[in-house]
């Protein structure tokens, strides 16, 4: 699709609502840069776990905060995949950050204001050129309140857990559906109730509940909204 006007597209919403699938597809179609901000929070959580700052029983927040300057996050475009992968201090960590262990810790790390400040600043820097599709939880509310198009994705917790469960089983991960559902609902709770930048729909965001929609239907709806803006 050719267009002159470049905009910022902010996609927020609950986990496993297909935000990143949609964002990647939209970015590819209109030639925009896609940024997965969840990957940034996951990478900080992964770093905290590796350094022993966090596990199920303890969290040394001060230790992590004092180490934030040592965490360098970057994205590199992988042409064969068609999207960017995240690097932690020069190392590709894509294959580590989607595990259930990281998923279980990430909300605790994402609550820390010092972590959010660092990542939001980096995210805002990425928009200098516009032409960006960014997905996360606070993109339309905090990172880019001026975004020209804001989508807010929802779906029932059970549908979302089924999607995540299927994805993990297809990737050879041994896991029970109940523990995926438990992770989805506990992250919903933590993400919507945290003091700093809770997950909330921006007043001017368009809500898409895709509980009973296919990936293709969700995309068809969204690309029309994008076309209206361009
Ligand atoms: O989109 P995801 O499931 O990969 O995100 C992982 C976690 O990071 C999620 O539980 C909430 C947090 N997150 C956030 O607080 N703010 C963002 N902009 C993106 C993700």
Q: Work out whether the CA dihedral 19, 222, 77, 168 comes out positive or negative.
A: positive
Domains and CATH numbers, the chain: 8-224 (3.40.50.300)
The residue contributing the CA closest to ligand 1 atom 10 is 107
- pLDDT per residue as tens digits for the range 156-201: 999 999 999 998 899 898 999 999 999 999 989 988 998 999 999 9
What confidence tier does 4 reach under pLDDT thresholds 50, 70, 90?
low
Specify the pTM. 0.93
- pLDDT per residue as tens digits for the range 29-87: 999 999 999 999 999 999 999 999 999 999 999 999 999 999 999 999 999 988 899 99
Ligand 1 binding site (Cβ under 6 Å of any ligand atom): 15, 37-38, 41-42, 106-107, 110, 136-138, 187, 191
**Other residues' Cβ atoms within 10 Å of the Cβ of residue 138:** 24
Instruction: Out of 94, 132, 136, 154, give the residue to mutate to test ligand 1, the one with the largest number of ligand atoms within 8 Å of its CB.
Output: 136
CB 26 within 8 A of CB 230: no
Which helix (H) or strand (E) segment holds residue 48: the answer is: helix 37-50
Residues 30, 73, 201: CA angle, nearest 5 degrees = 55
């Amino acid at each position: 699709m050719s267009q002159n006007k470049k905009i910022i597209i902010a996609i927020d919403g609950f986990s496993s609502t297909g935000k990143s699938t949609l964002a990647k597809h939209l970015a590819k179609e209109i030639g925009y840069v896609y940024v997965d901000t969840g990957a940034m929070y996951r990478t900080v959580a992964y770093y905290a776990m590796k350094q022993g700052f966090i596990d199920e029983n303890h969290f040394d927040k001060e230790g992590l905060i004092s180490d934030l300057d040592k965490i360098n996050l970057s994205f590199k475009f992988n042409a064969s995949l068609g999207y960017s992968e995240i690097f932690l201090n020069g190392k590709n960590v894509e294959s580590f950050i989607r595990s259930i262990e990281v998923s279980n810790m990430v909300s605790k790390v994402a609550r820390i204001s010092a972590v959010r400040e660092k990542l939001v600043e980096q995210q805002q820097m990425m928009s200098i050129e516009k032409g960006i599709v960014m997905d996360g939880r606070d993109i339309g509310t905090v990172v880019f309140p001026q975004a020209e198009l804001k989508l807010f994705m929802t779906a029932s917790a059970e549908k979302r857990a089924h999607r995540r469960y299927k994805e993990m089983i297809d990737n050879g991960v041994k896991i029970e559906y109940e523990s995926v559902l438990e992770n989805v609902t506990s992250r919903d709770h933590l993400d919507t109730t945290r003091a700093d930048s809770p997950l909330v729909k921006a007043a001017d965001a368009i809500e898409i509940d895709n509980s009973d929609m296919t990936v293709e239907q969700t995309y068809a709806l969204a690309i029309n909204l994008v076309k209206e803006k361009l």
